[in-house]
Amino acid sequence: MQMKQFDRANRNIVITGCSSGIGLDAAIRLHKLGYRVIATLRNVDDQPVLQQLGIDVVLLDYGQQSSIDSAVTAISELTNKSVYALFNNGAYGQVGALEDLATEDLRAQFETNFFGWHSLTKAVIPWMRQAGEGRIIQCSSVLGIAAYPYRGAYNSSKYALEGYTDTLRVELQGTGIQLSLIEPGPIHSRFRLNALTVFNQNINQTDSPHQQAYATQVQRLLKPITKPSMALPPSAVTDALIHAIEHKRAKIRYRVTRATKIVSVLKRILPDRLFDKFVAKTV
């Protein structure tokens, strides 16, 4: 049930990772619905698209605490510490076998995909407590449900996010702050190409026992997803986000795409070893 007399014009929504894909679609659509959107992104060159639409833009790099602190200050000034919803979305995927991954690269994955989210979330919770209401929506993944080979770094960050959000939801009971996880499967975006860039930078593919598998991974990342049943546009995530923001009782989890729904069911009903065989075949 949608909340009655929901005043979008006086609701400030912070959305991260708005350079492209899910974040960009969410920022534009919520702005068109009448929300005051504060969109964050890492690259200053990506600002004009949003600014031309009248959307407030704040630079934020989850991997740098100084950047997070500066962004929090800017958001505080823009909203007078009044943020109704925070959508943590900005992230990247580190592809590669865990045995080939340097500890500093795993740490970098967590800085951007987990610790940075905690820092921003921690900053806005007191504002929401003061208001007696708020929504914190986390963009998780099907890889926060199931562990896939060569996605170990990203898997680990999303599994951590799932546990973090479940815990925070219990701790914030009675405050008026609701927490939701959106768990997309394949979404049409630049995510795969960005993952390929980081993969090539950080993984020694030629001297690895996984060399043959890596060749397959590169081809997968280069190949666009063409089957409509296998991937959805970013708007599918925005649909879930709008529900999580506007409905009186937001869902705890929004499973977006057919892949996520299938995996979530199989994860519950299959024995672990059989499920391992299933994910190994779908890579």
Q: Which of 35, 62, 154, 214 is flagged as catalytic?
A: 154
Residue type for 2, please?
Answer: Q
Is residue 154 among the annotated active site residues?
yes
Q: Please report the beta strands in the chain, taking only residues with DSSP state E, as ranges in sequence order.
A: 12-15, 36-41, 56-59, 85-88, 134-139, 177-184, 253-256
Task: State how far the Cα of 59 lies from the Cα of 69, in Å rounded to an integer.
Answer: 11
What Cα–Cα distance (Å) separates residue 76 from each residue in 70, 81, 127, 194?
10, 5, 9, 31
Is residue 3 a contact partner of residue 27, using CB atoms and an 8 Å limit? Answer: no
Residue 239 CA to chain centroid, in angstroms?
14
Kind and range of the H or E run holding 88? strand 85-88
Contacting residues for 49 by C-beta, under 8 A, at least 6 apart:
24
Task: State how far the Cα of 133 lies from the Cα of 172, in Å rounded to an integer.
Answer: 11
Task: State how far the Cα of 240 lies from the Cα of 244, in Å rounded to an integer.
Answer: 6
Residue 160 has a CB neighbour count (10 Å cut-off) of 17
What 3-state class would DSSP assign to 252? coil
Q: What's the DSSP call for residue 215?
A: H
Active site residues: 154
